[in-house]
């Protein structure tokens, strides 16, 4: 249990924007160093030992324009010992250098050699590199529409620990069309990276080295099947407050937690106006009383504080009726509508936002039925798999370049998995419930209800989607514009590491 930290005593930090080192003919060139450092995460907590990009947690925000490619040199300057407990049996990482990193830009359309393949890791100074190491400087074309992306570590078998240590940051692509909408901008447009952590009394990060009900034959340390921290941080501060003017603000919200999902609402009873999802603006603004955010999902919302002058509004996380009264994670962030209005708010909440062509019109080449399944490993620990295959099994998903596929995600486990596919943004077609008990008895899929259209705020571009238990969630995607090796996985990092991640290869048209 973390020390009982007082809520809303620290100001919300805003990440600084990364400046390019130089301009080159192939775009701006940036350098980012991964380093170990200490950062104060709460007034009453001693500085926490972290790993971060440019000695910051979250890392600096990369802010680019659509159509302007950039290059990033993600330099590993980390020590050779990890600060968190590594299970050496997961992917036999005990045979590898202990500290390895590789950065992935989540949600981006990037060539495979810059996508941060989990086995393309490298150590401090590139002294050692993984089997599929590609290049030192990554290239991001930024040809996709305006959106909120994020970058984070993706090293094989230790992603959960590297990200938990602090290796994550935001990445924003801006386009002209979005600019023309007159959304709240400048200081009124704020990224919020929400994560959960637990702390030891000395301020250090706490992360379990054994599952709660550990049998005694387990590896030591052992991976855990899920992790829920008892403390919520936004932009690197524990339960911060944010002073706002009585006007509209735009918040680009990211759930950067390992396992935890959030059900966000405002205690003032006012709604969110959701304007965007993972892959940018929705077609139409959606008024939401409550927004579920799975790990790695982004929601872009406008909140209007104009009627709340002098008041406090808390961004809450609905823990449901059975919540433990000791659980403090029902609070996220406090807004204090305490600043005077500096000038008239001329920004708008547009009704119509953007054009989104429906992929459903495309000619569908392949339908893949993919099961999300639970099994147990040799130690009796849960082992969650995609279609009953482990990471190292041969590649089975090989979409052809430029073709459209439907992936039908059938979740036969007992809980929701946020499924993420690299390279593309997909659309959610529908969900359909089935009888899980029946399936567990005889393997039959008997639907218990009709096909349900996705929620209004899921009708835009997505790269990560909740695939709930006992439902078939169908997504549709066009696999382009690059061929090569990518991955898809559950974004619960404890699942992704073990072994709920699979390679996929986009193959050439005539292969």
45 forms part of the interface with ligand C2O (CB under 6 A): no
Q: Closest separation between CB of residue 491 and ligand C2O, Å? A: 6
Contacts of 114 by beta carbon, 8 Å cutoff, 6+ apart: 105, 134, 135, 138, 139, 140
| Lookup result for tokens 């996380």 | 317
Q: Closest separation between CB of residue 104 and ligand C2O, Å? A: 5
298 forms part of the interface with ligand C2O (CB under 6 A): no
Residue nearest to ligand C2O (CB): 106
Give the C-alpha separation, 372 to 374, whole Å.
7
Pick from 42, 152, 389, 417: which binds Cu ion (CB under 5 A)? 417
What does 247 bind: Cu ion, ligand C2O, none (CB cut-off 5 to 8 Å by kind)?
none
Q: Closest separation between CB of residue 120 and ligand C2O, Å? A: 12
Distances (CA, A) of 75 to 34, 60, 166, 443: 6, 14, 15, 48
Task: Tell me the pairing of strands 231-234 and 237-238.
Answer: antiparallel
Q: Considering only 326-334, 378-386, 465-473, 485-493, which stretch makes contact with ligand C2O by CB under 6 A?
A: 485-493
428 forms part of the interface with Cu ion (CB under 5 A): no
Q: Cα dihedral sign for 329, 254, 457, 399?
A: negative
490 forms part of the interface with Cu ion (CB under 5 A): yes
What does 489 bind: Cu ion, ligand C2O, none (CB cut-off 5 to 8 Å by kind)?
ligand C2O
Give the C-alpha separation, 334 to 267, whole Å.
10
What is the SS3 assignment for 173?
strand
Q: 55's torsion region: left (phi>0), alpha (psi -120 to 50) or beta?
A: left
Give the C-alpha separation, 504 to 491, whole Å.
16
From the list 476, 477, 174, the residue with the least C-alpha distance to 300 is 174
Pick from 389, 417, 422, 432: which binds ligand C2O (CB under 6 A)? 422
Pick from 55, 91, 100, 104: which binds ligand C2O (CB under 6 A)? 104
Q: Closest separation between CB of residue 496 and ligand C2O, Å? A: 7
Please say which residue, 257 or 274, places its beta carbon nearer to ligand C2O. 257
459 forms part of the interface with ligand C2O (CB under 6 A): no
Distances (CA, A) of 406 to 361, 429, 448, 476, 478: 12, 9, 22, 4, 9
489 forms part of the interface with ligand C2O (CB under 6 A): yes
106 forms part of the interface with Cu ion (CB under 5 A): yes
Q: Which residues are at the interface with Cu ion (CB under 5 A)?
A: 106, 417, 422, 490, 492, 495
Q: Which residues are at the interface with ligand C2O (CB under 6 A)?
A: 104, 106, 152, 154, 296, 420, 422, 487, 489, 491
């Amino acid at each position: 249990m973390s020390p009982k930290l007082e809520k809303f005593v620290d100001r919300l930090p805003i990440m600084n924007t990364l400046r390019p080192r130089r301009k080159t003919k192939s775009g701006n060139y940036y350098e980012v160093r991964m380093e170990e450092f200490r950062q104060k995460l709460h007034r009453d907590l001693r500085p926490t030992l972290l790993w971060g990009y440019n000695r910051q947690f979250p890392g600096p925000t990369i802010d680019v324009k659509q159509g302007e490619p950039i290059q990033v040199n993600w330099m590993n300057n980390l020590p050779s010992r990890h600060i968190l407990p590594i299970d050496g049996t997961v992917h036999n990482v005990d045979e590898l250098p202990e500290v390895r990193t590789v950065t992935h830009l989540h949600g981006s359309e990037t060539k495979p050699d810059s996508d941060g393949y989990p086995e393309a890791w490298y150590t401090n100074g590139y002294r050692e590199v993984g089997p599929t190491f590609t290049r030192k400087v990554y290239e991001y074309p930024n040809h996709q529409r305006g959106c909120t992306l994020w970058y984070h570590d993706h090293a094989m078998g230790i992603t959960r620990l590297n990200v938990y240590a602090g290796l994550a940051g935001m990445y924003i692509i801006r386009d002209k069309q979005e600019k023309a909408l007159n959304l709240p901008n400048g200081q009124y447009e704020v990224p919020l990276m929400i994560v959960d952590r637990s702390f030891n009394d000395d301020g250090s990060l706490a992360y379990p080295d054994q599952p709660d009900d550990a049998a005694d034959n387990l590896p030591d340390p052992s991976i855990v099947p899920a992790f829920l921290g008892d403390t919520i941080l936004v932009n690197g501060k524990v339960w911060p407050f944010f002073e706002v003017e009585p006007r509209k603000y735009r918040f680009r919200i990211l759930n950067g937690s390992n396992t935890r999902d959030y059900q966000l609402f405002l205690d003032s009873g006012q709604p969110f106006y959701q304007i965007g999802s993972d892959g940018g603006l929705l077609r139409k603004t959606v008024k939401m009383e409550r927004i579920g955010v799975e790990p790695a999902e982004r929601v872009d919302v406008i909140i209007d504080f104009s009627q709340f002058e002098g008041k406090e509004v808390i961004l809450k996380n609905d823990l449901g009726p059975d919540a433990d009264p000791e659980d403090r994670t029902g609070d996220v962030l406090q807004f204090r509508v305490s600043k005077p209005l500096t000038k008239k708010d001329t920004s708008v909440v547009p009704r119509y936002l953007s054009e989104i062509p429906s992929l459903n019109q495309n000619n569908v080449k392949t339908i893949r039925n993919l099961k999300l399944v639970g099994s147990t490993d040799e130690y009796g620990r849960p082992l969650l798999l995609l279609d009953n295959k482990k990471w190292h099994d041969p590649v089975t998903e090989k979409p052809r370049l430029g073709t459209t596929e439907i992936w039908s995600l059938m979740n036969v486990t007992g809980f929701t998995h946020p499924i993420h596919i690299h390279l593309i943004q997909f659309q959610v077609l529908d969900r359909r419930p089935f009888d899980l008990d029946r399936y567990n008895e005889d393997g039959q899929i008997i639907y218990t209800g009709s096909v349900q259209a996705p929620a209004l705020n899921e009708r835009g571009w997505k790269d990560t989607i909740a695939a709930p238990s006992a439902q078939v969630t169908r997504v549709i995607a066009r696999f382009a514009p690059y061929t090569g090796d990518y991955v898809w996985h559950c974004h619960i990092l404890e699942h992704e590491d073990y072994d709920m991640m699979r390679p996929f290869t986009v193959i050439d048209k005539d292969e």
